[in-house]
């Protein structure tokens, strides 16, 4: 892979999360080096990923032999083996990889990953649980947490915003949220919303704002 490793990603752990992540990166034309200790999983993924090898990611010499230190980005997607997850992350830090994502199963696990040097800690099960919890109530079509304090939701245009330009609706003034995109009823594509956009019954909108404002708005609009 040579110098291309600057733009490539190493994914360690090919469980459901790691496999889905690696395959999506490949679909986005990102070069991927995938590592898993289970030979049968590596054989199953062979041909679907750029490079996939059976190896022990908790062994520093093995990581060096694979040239992992040449990568700029790495994802530790090991799930059930917390010890392997933490040790692998610490070895990637030792190798000097500048951007490391690590999957955490619990908050204590996440705190340890941060302490050993992970630059980004993700909680995929928790985040998906949040997303489903918001959508299963029927108030939203989708919910995406953008940061600790901000979220974006996809929903049908509420009755309070129908028939008037967005700059005259109560959405920003009362609820302190912003409509960023709209797909008009019967339309195929989303378009950026402007101050002059007028929402109609059946329109689907993306709304952005602080999590507390988004949740307060969705509760009143349900």
In Å, how far from its chain's centre is CA 20? 11
Predicted structure pTM score? 0.61
Indicate whether 117 and 135 sit together in one domain: no
d(CA 50, CA 177): 42
On whether both 60 and 81 belong to a single domain, the answer is: yes
| Three-state SS at 15 | coil
Task: Supply the CATH number for residue 195's domain.
Answer: 3.30.70.1450
- Final residue belonging to a domain, choices 94, 122, 150: 122
Q: What is the pLDDT of residue 4?
A: 40
For residues 95 and 102, give the distance between their C-alpha atoms in angstroms, rounded to a whole number: 15
Q: Locate tokens 């490539």: which residue?
A: 8
Q: What is the mean pLDDT of residues 10-35?
A: 90
Check whether residue 6 and residue 63 sit in a common domain.
Answer: yes
Residues 207, 133 within the same domain? yes
Residues near 149 by beta carbon (within 8 Å), at least 6 away in sequence: 210, 211
**Looking at residue 130, what is its pLDDT?**
53
**What's the whole-number average pLDDT of the chain?**
85
pLDDT tens per residue across span 94-153: 999 999 999 888 888 889 999 999 998 887 665 555 555 555 455 567 777 766 678 888
Tens digits of residue pLDDT in 32-76: 999 999 999 999 999 888 799 999 999 999 999 999 999 999 999
Number of folded domains that form the chain: 2
191 pairs with which residues across the strands?
182
Choose the final residue of a domain: 122, 146, 174.
Answer: 122
Structural domain harbouring 193: 127-221
Average pLDDT over residues 18-36: 89
Specify the pairing of strand 178-183 against strand 191-192. antiparallel
Q: State residue 127's pLDDT score.
A: 59
Closest CA to 8 of 114, 117, 87, 99: 99
The pLDDT assigned to 219 comes to 64
Same domain, 103 and 14: yes
């Amino acid at each position: 892979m040579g110098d291309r490793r600057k733009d490539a990603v190493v994914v360690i752990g090919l469980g459901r999360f790691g496999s889905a992540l690696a395959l999506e990166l490949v679909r986005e034309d990102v070069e991927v080096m995938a590592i898993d200790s289970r030979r049968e999983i590596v054989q199953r993924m062979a041909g679907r990923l750029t490079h996939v090898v059976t190896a022990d990611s908790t062994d520093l010499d093995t990581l060096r032999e694979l040239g992992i230190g040449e990568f700029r980005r790495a994802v530790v997607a090991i799930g059930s083996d917390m010890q392997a997850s933490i040790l692998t992350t610490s070895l990637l830090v030792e190798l000097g990889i500048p951007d490391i994502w690590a999957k955490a199963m619990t908050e204590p696990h996440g705190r340890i990953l941060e302490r050993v040097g992970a630059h980004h800690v993700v909680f995929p099960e928790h985040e998906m649980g949040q997303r489903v919890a918001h959508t299963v109530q029927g108030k939203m079509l989708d919910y995406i947490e953008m940061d600790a304090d901000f979220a974006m939701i996809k929903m049908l245009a509420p009755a309070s915003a129908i028939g008037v330009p967005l700059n005259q609706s109560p959405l920003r003034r009362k609820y302190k949220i912003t409509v960023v995109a709209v797909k008009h009823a019967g339309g195929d594509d989303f378009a950026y919303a402007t101050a002059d956009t007028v929402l109609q019954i059946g329109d689907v909108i993306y709304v952005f704002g602080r999590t507390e404002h988004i949740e307060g708005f969705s509760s009143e609009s349900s």
